Homo-oligomer: A and B are copies of this chain.
């Protein structure tokens, strides 16, 4: 049984808590958070604290914190002999240099508190400074996911930047679609089969082959009619920039 303390109470911390709490191979012995109020969700299920001085003993301390808080909290954990890991896509392992044994446990997924996720298919990217710690972290990762990878901080950065494009920015384009539908009293649900198919399609075709639409077809008449349909300046800018970028990538004249 791997004993874990989770530090943080945000989306990632909450989802990790839920999956480790259910797992038979690990035990969440404590959740730490600076603000007491956000510990309410956890306190019926495990021990909680808002003081770093009261941390329980554990095998792994998981820092599921805001990126800029990681190094700061790590400094305060320098006395611990256990493995200290963070869960960030963009912070280097070296942010934990103040701790003797450190590593990264990065689940490559988008987490919201109220959306259940199935960890089995989520790639878990691990990094440590020695083999023994890697095996411990791997045992923990494999207890929740089938997809566990050794990924360096540099490789992780590529994944994280790509994830911003294919997840965060994609979701924002969904938000624009939803807003346009709402403004024109259309049901956004009508677009969901298209959204799912667009995501599924690239498991069979690469995204270059999968591209369709007026930008690719150089259909200037439609592009102009869409631009005059859009009222928001930002939406127009996004439409123009992405249209140009598609045409540039596909080697057509602009």
Contact = CB atoms under 8 A, between A and B. Distances in A.
A10 B253 CA distance: 22
Contacts of A122: 193
A198 interface: yes
Interface residues of A, number: 92
Interface in A108-133: 108-112, 114-115, 117, 121-123
Contacts of A169: 173, 238-239, 242, 246
Interface stretch (A30-38, A41-49, A214-222): A214-222
Give the secondary structure class of A's interface.
Answer: helix
A68 B200 CA distance: 30
Contacts of A68: 219, 221
A177 B191 CA distance: 23
Q: Which of A178, A198, A216 has the most CB of B within 10 A?
A: A198
Given A155-B184, A213-B167, A205 B172 contact: no
A246 B198 contact: no
Nearest to A125: B190
B238 A168 contact: no
Given A191-B162, A198-B110, A206-B178, A234 B229 contact: no
Contact of A212 (B11, B157, B208, B238): B11
15 contacts: A68-B221, A110-B194, A115-B201, A122-B193, A149-B190, A155-B186, A161-B180, A163-B194, A164-B226, A165-B238, A168-B211, A175-B208, A195-B202, A234-B244, A234-B245
